[in-house]
Structure formats: structure tokens, C-alpha cells
């Protein structure tokens, strides 16, 4: 049943091409601007272009999954959750289905920014590095996708828009997707390393530098995923009781 549900949500996503286009325009534009102005401050054009490529691809992915949360909140008044309650799906299965759907929406910004990195800014990585970056950017966004789902189920459409914007812009900036956290004050840098966004970007930044992701980074990201999954299930159960 969950496979059929995921297919249904995928079809609903693809029927809204404007959502997909919007999720890639902003990060792609910002990437080209950032690399031309070298706002990342990384030494050397290659370093700046690679850092910004990962950062803006991640930024686009965050925007896509938080936008999915807003779409969920807007679905509630239309009775979509009421319809889901008629299906033999557990709350966890609904969250998993929505998470995978949200992750699919991150493919356009991730691929477009990485293509710009290779074709416009001559980012040079091995085939294994390119594959790793693409996979990590896609898989690593899962915790934020789950957070967006929880926000969508728990809040109204207007509230979800505000919360989504705070997470999209605020956490992306704090997590170092725009500017390296090494430029932050010492105390703020320590805060940033505890955020899921920073650990998400770190996965691919380390790969572009020729290193493997750290165990600590993976564990921090997994911890946030567990917390956000519990939050999303709670949000779905609350929304089911109020519709």
C-alpha cells in the first residue's frame, strides 16, 4: 500500500511544475552571483566555486522540502488528510511516503547547480566525487524533508509559510550554506556545527576536498532525523484528530 501511496504523491508533485521550477531558480541564480563575486571567501576560484556549488545546491534542496511542508498545510482544508485516513496506512508510513516525495523535489536544484558548477565555473571533480556529491546532497536532505512535513501537518498554511521561511533562510545562513562558518564568531561557529544544515553540507564539502564524511557528522544528522521523524508523526496524528 505504501508503494501506491508514494506513487500517488509523486504524481501530485509532478502536476505542479511551477513548484519545481521555483525551487531551482533562486539557488542557481545565487550560485552564479556568489561565484562571480567570490562571496564565500574560499581561497582560489576552484575552492570558492566548489564550496558555493554545494552550498547553493543544498540551499535549493532545503527550499524544496520546506515548500513541500507548506503544500501539506494547504492540503488540509481541502480534505486530503481526511482521505488518507481511509487508507490502511500507519502515520509512520505516511511520513515516509511524504519524505520520499519531498526528496524527489530536490533533484532539479541539486542537478542544475552542480551542472552550473561543472559547465560554468569549471569545478573539477573525479567521477566518484561527482557521484558522491549528488548522492549525499539527495540523501542527506532527508532530515529537513521530515521537518518540513511535521511543520505542514501541525501548522496552518500561513503559519507553515512563516516557519518554512525561517528554516529555509535562517538555518541555511546559520548552517554555512551561504558563508563558511569559519568566518563566524567562535561561539556561533560551535552552534552552527550542531545544526542539521551544517552537517548536511559538510557531507559534500568534505568529498569535494578529497575526504570522506566524518562519523560525527553522520551521527549528528541521523540524530536530527530521528527527532524530526518523531515530530512529523506527532504532527500527522494531531492533524488527523482535527480534520
Please give the C-alpha separations between residue 216 and each of 195, 199, 236, in angstroms, as whole numbers.
12, 9, 30
d(CA 22, CA 64): 9
Length in residues, the chain = 243
Query: What's the pTM?
Result: 0.88
Per cent of the chain over pLDDT 70 is: 84
Residues 6+ apart with CB under 8 A from 7: none
Q: Which pLDDT does position 45 carry in this prediction?
A: 61
Grid cell, residue 95, equals 511520513
C-alpha span between 148 and 165 (Å, rounded)? 11
pLDDT at 43: 46
Pick left, alpha or beta for residue 41 (phi over 0 → left; psi -120 to 50 → alpha; otherwise beta).
left
Residue whose C-alpha is closest to residue 80's, from 107, 104, 101: 101
Instruction: Please give the pLDDT value at position 18.
Output: 62
Longest Cα–Cα distance of the chain, Å, equals: 57
Average pLDDT over residues 12-33: 73
Amino acid at each position: 500500500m505504501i508503494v501506491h501511496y508514494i506513487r500517488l504523491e509523486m504524481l501530485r508533485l509532478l502536476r505542479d511544475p511551477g513548484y519545481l521550477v521555483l525551487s531551482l531558480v533562486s539557488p542557481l541564480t545565487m550560485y552564479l552571483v556568489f561565484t562571480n563575486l567570490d562571496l564565500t571567501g574560499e581561497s582560489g576560484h576552484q575552492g570558492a566555486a566548489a564550496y558555493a556549488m554545494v552550498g547553493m545546491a543544498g540551499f535549493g534542496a532545503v527550499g524544496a522540502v520546506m515548500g513541500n511542508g507548506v503544500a501539506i498545510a494547504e492540503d488540509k482544508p481541502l480534505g486530503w488528510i481526511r482521505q488518507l485516513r481511509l487508507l490502511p496506512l500507519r502515520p509512520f508510513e505516511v511520513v515516509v511516503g511524504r519524505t520520499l516525495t519531498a526528496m524527489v523535489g530536490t533533484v532539479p536544484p541539486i542537478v542544475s547547480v552542480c551542472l552550473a558548477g561543472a559547465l560554468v565555473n569549471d569545478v573539477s571533480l573525479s567521477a566518484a566525487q561527482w557521484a558522491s556529491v549528488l548522492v549525499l546532497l539527495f540523501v542527506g536532505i532527508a532530515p529537513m524533508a521530515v521537518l518540513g512535513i511535521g511543520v505542514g501537518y501541525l501548522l496552518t498554511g500561513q503559519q507553515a509559510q512563516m516557519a518554512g521561511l525561517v528554516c529555509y533562510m535562517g538555518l541555511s545562513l546559520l548552517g554555512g550554506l551561504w558563508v563558511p562558518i569559519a568566518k563566524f564568531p567562535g561561539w556561533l561557529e560551535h552552534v552552527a556545527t550542531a545544526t542539521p544544515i551544517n552537517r548536511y553540507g559538510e557531507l559534500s564539502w568534505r568529498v569535494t576536498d578529497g575526504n570522506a564524511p566524518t562519523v560525527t557528522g553522520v551521527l549528528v544528522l541521523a540524530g536530527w532525523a530521528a527527532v524530526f521523524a518523531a515530530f512529523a508523526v506527532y504532527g500527522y496524528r494531531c492533524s488527523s484528530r482535527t480534520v
